[in-house]
Structure 1
């Protein structure tokens, strides 16, 4: 497992991008739970963020691709609207402990 960040660095209803061993990832915290995905839209293979660490739609209830506006469920990564509907983001196994958030490398 690779260390991403402390728990305090990912507050609820927020997202944050990372690069671990050359792989671009992002983490989202929703209702206390952390989800980690590869930062790659299944539609065109591009990064999802609008600006650094901004992966969520304005309501912070869905992940949104900045390129074509595709919307993904935070809990599963499933695309629910846009050009890749029915496809999903690639989830990464993660855990959180007293030190912070970790992701499987």
Structure 2
């Protein structure tokens, strides 16, 4: 699947379930993305520290699911902002390649 297809799949799903009526502006999508990034951070901290030894600690979700949530929310935000994420990614990739070609 290409990024563009994934972006359309996510947006179509959200529209079908009525989520686009709840989360109505790009700021909402961005805040949801930040929330998911916090869950990745919590999971990493849980795995890389001794948080599991604390009696009030909860076991976070699997890191793979949390990173997938970040990707999902990024696709959603791009749709809300009418950004072709695949095209934007390729432009940014080429820009970074050109900028960093003299580093080796």
For Structure 1 versus Structure 2, the TM-score category normalised by the shorter chain is under 0.3
Question: TM-score under structure 2 normalisation?
Answer: 0.26
Higher relative contact order (CA 8 A, sep 6+): 2
Higher strand share: 1
The structure carrying a bigger helix percent of its residues is 2
> When the two structures are superposed, what TM-score results if normalisation uses the length of structure 1?
0.25
- Greater C-alpha Rg: 2
